[in-house]
Structure 1
Amino acid sequence: MTAITLRQACPPGTCDCDREQLLDDPSTDARILRLTLHEERRLMERLEQVTTLQQLEHLQQRMQEQLGIRLQIGPGVEEIRVVRGIGMAFSPQPGLCRKTRKAIPAAIRRCIKQHPEIAYELLNRHDLLRDA
C-alpha cells in the first residue's frame, strides 16, 4: 500500500485555499490536495501541449474526474479580439490554490496562442462565427 502524497501547505496568509479546513472535514472532497507542485508542473506542460479543442476538453474532464477541478471555458462577455477574451472560470472548490487558479488559465492561453484553431473552434461552438 502506497501513501498518498498531498500538496504542501502554502505559507500562512498567502493563499485562500482553505487547505486546513479541507483536511479537518472528512466529508469534503480532498482530491485537489493530490495535485502536488510536481504534478501541477506536469499538468501545465500537458495543457500547453494541447493541439485540438477535443484534447483540451478531455483534459478538462480528467481534471474534474481526478482532482475535482471544474473549469468552464468559453467566450468572454466582451468582444473577442485576443486570446484574453476567452473566459475561464473555476467552480468554487476548497483546496484549490490561488497560484493554481492562475496557472491553469495561463497555460491554456499559451496553448491557444500557439494553436489559434482551438479558439476558432471554441468560438464556432458558441455560434459566434456563424456568419463569418
Structure 2
Amino acid sequence: MTTQPLQRHPCPPGACDCGREQLLEGPAEVQRILLLTREEEKRLLERLENLKDLEDLQRLQQRMYLNLGLRVHIAPGYNEVRTMRGIVIELEALPGLCRKTRQSIPAAIRRGLERNPQVAFRLLDAHDLLRDA
C-alpha cells in the first residue's frame, strides 16, 4: 500500500487567492507546495525566526526551493537600510501558496534578522554595502 503525503487543507472560499484548484489539475511536480501543511508551516516560521547566521538563512532558502519550489529573494532595498524594513524580502509568485503564508514568511525572516542583527550585517556586507565601513 502506498500512502499519499499529507496536503494542506483548502482555504475557506473567498478568503484566499492561491489557485489551489488549478494546481490540483496540474502535474505532481508543481503540487509540492501543497505539502506545506499548517504544522509544517509553523515549524518553518519558527526556524526562520531563529536564524543562526547568513549561511543558515541561505541553507533555508535552498531547502524551501528544493522541497517546496518556493523561491525567496532577500536583498537590501534601493534606499538606505536603516532598519530591517529596508531589507526587501520577496517571494516569487507560486500557485497554491496561501495569502497568509506569503505574508508570514517575510515577517518571520524579518523577526529573525531583528533577533540576530549579525545576520543582517552579513547580508548587507554580502551585497557590498559595508565595504567602506
TM range (shorter): over 0.9
- Give the match for residue 4 of structure 1: 5
The number of equivalent residue pairs is 132
- Give the match for residue 58 of structure 1: 59
Give the TM-score, by structure 1 length.
Answer: 0.95
Give how far 1:50 is off.
1.2
- Structure 1 counterpart of 2:123, one-letter code: L
Inter-partner Cα distance in structure 2 for 1:131 and 1:26: 49
Q: Residue deviations 1:17-61, cap 9 Å, x none?
A: 100000012376010000000100010111111110100100000
- Structure 1 counterpart of 2:20, one-letter code: R
Q: Give the 3-state SS of the residue equivalent to 1:72 in structure 2.
A: strand
Inter-partner Cα distance in structure 2 for 1:11 and 1:91: 23
Q: Give the 3-state SS of the residue equivalent to 2:30 in structure 1.
A: coil
- Give the match for residue 97 of structure 2: 96
Q: Residue deviations 1:86-116, cap 9 Å, x none?
A: 1011112111111111111111111110100
- Structure 1 counterpart of 2:34, one-letter code: L
Mapping of residues 101-116 of structure 1, within 5 Å: 101-116=102-117
Q: Give the 3-state SS of the residue equivalent to 1:41 in structure 2.
A: helix
- Structure 1 counterpart of 2:14, one-letter code: G
Inter-partner Cα distance in structure 2 for 1:33 and 1:47: 19
Give how far 1:3 is off.
2.0
- Give the match for residue 29 of structure 1: 30
Inter-partner Cα distance in structure 1 for 2:29 and 2:4: 19
Q: Give the 3-state SS of the residue equivalent to 1:45 in structure 2.
A: helix
Unaligned runs of 5+ in 1: none
The RMSD of aligned alpha carbons is 1.1
Unaligned runs of 5+ in 2: none
Q: Does the 8 Å CA contact 1:7/1:36 hold for their aligned counterparts?
A: yes
Q: Give the 3-state SS of the residue equivalent to 1:29 in structure 2.
A: helix
Percent sequence identity over aligned pairs:
55
- Give the match for residue 117 of structure 1: 118
Give how far 1:2 is off.
2.6
Q: Does the 8 Å CA contact 1:22/1:28 hold for their aligned counterparts?
A: no
- Structure 1 counterpart of 2:31, one-letter code: A
